[in-house]
Amino acid sequence: QQQVKQSPQSLIVQKGGISIINCAYENTAFDYFPWYQQFPGKGPALLIAIRPDVSEKKEGRFTISFNKSAKQFSLHIMDSQPGDSATYFCAASIGETSGSRLTFGEGTQLTVNP
């Protein structure tokens, strides 16, 4: 299975709150898990990425938590800001054999209210 399942489809958070987006995968060969942020009319931009040899990675207000046994990973946005309002995509790839082609989740539309 090459699918990556993402939830929720949409999320509304108040300014200063925590936004949490979850993803699950089936293919245990996936070994690279990036998150992309996409604003309307723009292309996706890499936000943060993790490999399965670590359980957590933090960059500023963004944290990825990774649970290898459950085949799940999540994005946490701390102190969410209205400027974070965008669509977020999780993705996965098998780096060694596929030239890093990305399999994307369905996306989560995040709205942060002021």
Partner 1 sequence: NAGVMQNPRHLVRRRGQEARLRCSPMKGHSHVYWYRQLPEEGLKFMVYLQKENIIDESGMPKERFSAEFPKEGPSILRIQQVVRGDSAAYFCASSPKWGYQETQYFGPGTRLLVL
Summarize as ranges the residues that interact with partner 1 (CB under 8 A): 6, 31-32, 34, 36, 41-46, 49, 51, 89, 93, 95-96, 98-107
Residue number, 17 or 32, with CB nearest to partner 1: 32
In angstroms, rounded to a whole number, what is the distance separating the alpha carbons of residues 1 and 24? 12
Distance, CA of 65 to CA of 55 (rounded, Å): 6
Q: Which is nearer to partner 1, 104 or 111 (CB)?
A: 104
Q: How far is the CB of 114 from partner 1 (least distance, A)?
A: 26
By C-beta, is 36 or 77 nearer to partner 1?
A: 36
What's the min distance (Å) between Cβ of 32 and partner 1? 4
Beta-strand ranges (E) seen in 1-114 are 4-7, 10-14, 19-25, 33-38, 45-50, 56-59, 62-67, 72-77, 86-92, 103-104, 108-113
CB of 15 to partner 1, least distance (A): 26
